[in-house]
Amino acid sequence: MLTIACRDVGQPCDCVLSGETEEELLKSAAEHAVNDHGYKEEEIMTPEMQQNIKSHIKRV
């Protein structure tokens, strides 16, 4: 399983998101960022943000 901690991406949040695939994880991370952190979807989809998120993915 893949996980990502919000805190690692620089958010003041203790959430850890998980997914079976990178695609699934990125999708739930995007939803969480929009719903819980007030981001706009287009802000999450920038190459910089996607790269930042991907660089903090952990395999558990």
In the complex, the residues that contact Zn ion under the rule CB under 5 A are 6, 11, 13, 15
Cβ proximity to Zn ion, 2 vs 13, nearer residue:
13
Q: Least distance to Zn ion from the beta carbon of 40, Å?
A: 16
Cβ proximity to Zn ion, 15 vs 22, nearer residue:
15
CA dist 4 to 7, 20, Å?
A: 9, 12
Q: Using CB atoms, what's the residue nearest to Zn ion?
A: 13
Checking DSSP bridges between strand 16-19 and strand 2-5, what pairing results, if any?
antiparallel
Question: What is the distance between the terminal CA atoms of the chain, rounded to a whole angstrom?
Answer: 5
